[in-house]
Protein backbone atom coordinates (compact mmCIF):
# COMPACT_ATOMS: atom_id res chain seq x y z
CA UNK A 1 0.00 0.00 0.00
CA UNK A 2 2.38 2.71 1.21
CA UNK A 3 6.10 2.68 1.82
CA UNK A 4 8.06 4.96 4.04
CA UNK A 5 11.55 5.28 5.39
CA UNK A 6 12.15 5.90 9.07
CA UNK A 7 15.38 7.62 10.04
CA UNK A 8 16.30 6.86 13.60
CA UNK A 9 19.43 7.74 15.52
CA UNK A 10 20.70 4.19 14.93
CA UNK A 11 20.13 4.28 11.16
CA UNK A 12 17.63 4.02 8.36
CA UNK A 13 14.85 1.45 8.29
CA UNK A 14 12.46 0.67 5.48
CA UNK A 15 8.91 -0.26 6.39
CA UNK A 16 6.08 -1.31 4.11
CA UNK A 17 2.65 -0.41 5.43
CA UNK A 18 -0.04 -3.06 5.09
CA UNK A 19 -3.11 -0.99 5.98
CA UNK A 20 -4.39 2.00 7.95
CA UNK A 21 -4.30 0.27 11.31
CA UNK A 22 -0.75 -0.90 10.78
CA UNK A 23 0.28 2.68 9.99
CA UNK A 24 -1.47 4.13 13.04
CA UNK A 25 0.08 1.48 15.26
CA UNK A 26 3.53 2.34 13.90
CA UNK A 27 2.97 6.01 14.72
CA UNK A 28 1.83 5.21 18.25
CA UNK A 29 4.63 2.71 18.89
CA UNK A 30 7.51 4.71 17.49
CA UNK A 31 6.52 8.35 17.94
CA UNK A 32 6.42 10.04 14.58
CA UNK A 33 8.12 13.32 15.57
CA UNK A 34 10.76 11.73 17.77
CA UNK A 35 12.07 9.37 15.09
CA UNK A 36 11.69 11.76 12.15
CA UNK A 37 9.66 9.66 9.78
CA UNK A 38 10.06 10.33 6.10
CA UNK A 39 7.16 9.26 3.96
CA UNK A 40 7.92 8.66 0.35
CA UNK A 41 7.06 6.53 -2.62
CA UNK A 42 10.70 5.79 -3.51
CA UNK A 43 11.26 8.66 -5.92
CA UNK A 44 14.02 11.03 -4.89
CA UNK A 45 12.21 13.93 -6.55
CA UNK A 46 9.36 13.34 -4.09
CA UNK A 47 11.56 12.90 -1.06
CA UNK A 48 8.80 13.70 1.38
CA UNK A 49 5.48 12.79 -0.20
CA UNK A 50 2.58 13.64 2.07
CA UNK A 51 -0.17 13.79 -0.56
CA UNK A 52 -0.85 10.04 -0.69
CA UNK A 53 -0.69 9.89 3.06
CA UNK A 54 -3.39 12.53 3.50
CA UNK A 55 -5.90 10.26 1.80
CA UNK A 56 -5.75 7.75 4.65
CA UNK A 57 -5.25 10.00 7.67
CA UNK A 58 -7.76 11.80 9.82
CA UNK A 59 -7.47 15.46 10.84
CA UNK A 60 -5.49 14.84 14.02
CA UNK A 61 -2.86 12.91 12.10
CA UNK A 62 -2.72 15.54 9.35
CA UNK A 63 -1.93 18.21 11.93
CA UNK A 64 0.83 15.97 13.27
CA UNK A 65 2.22 15.54 9.76
CA UNK A 66 2.17 19.30 9.20
CA UNK A 67 4.24 19.83 12.34
CA UNK A 68 6.61 17.12 11.18
CA UNK A 69 6.89 18.66 7.73
CA UNK A 70 8.03 21.96 9.25
CA UNK A 71 10.63 20.20 11.38
CA UNK A 72 11.81 18.13 8.43
CA UNK A 73 12.88 21.15 6.37
CA UNK A 74 15.92 21.53 8.61
CA UNK A 75 16.97 17.89 8.22
CA UNK A 76 16.07 17.25 4.59
CA UNK A 77 19.54 17.68 3.05
CA UNK A 78 21.24 15.32 5.52
CA UNK A 79 18.53 12.73 4.97
CA UNK A 80 18.78 13.16 1.21
CA UNK A 81 22.47 12.20 1.44
CA UNK A 82 21.66 9.18 3.62
CA UNK A 83 19.05 8.03 1.13
CA UNK A 84 21.44 8.41 -1.78
CA UNK A 85 24.01 6.22 -0.01
CA UNK A 86 21.36 3.65 0.82
CA UNK A 87 20.09 3.52 -2.76
CA UNK A 88 23.63 3.10 -4.10
CA UNK A 89 24.23 0.14 -1.76
CA UNK A 90 21.03 -1.61 -2.81
Q: Model confidence over 14-61: pLDDT tens digits?
A: 555 555 556 555 555 544 433 344 444 333 333 344 544 444 444 555
More confident residue, 4 or 70: 70
Residue closest to 12 by CA, chosen among 65, 85, 88: 85
4-19 pLDDT, tens per residue? 555 444 444 555 555 5
Q: State the pTM of this model.
A: 0.20
Quote the number of domains for the chain: 1
Q: By residue range, what is the domain housing residue 38?
A: 2-89
Q: What is the mean pLDDT of residues 63-75?
A: 62
| Residue 31 to residues 45, 70, 76, Cα–Cα distance (Å) | 26, 16, 19
What local confidence, expressed as pLDDT, does residue 42 receive?
35
Amino acid sequence: MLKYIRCTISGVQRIRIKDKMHFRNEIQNQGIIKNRFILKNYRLSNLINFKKLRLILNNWEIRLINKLQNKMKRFSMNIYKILQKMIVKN
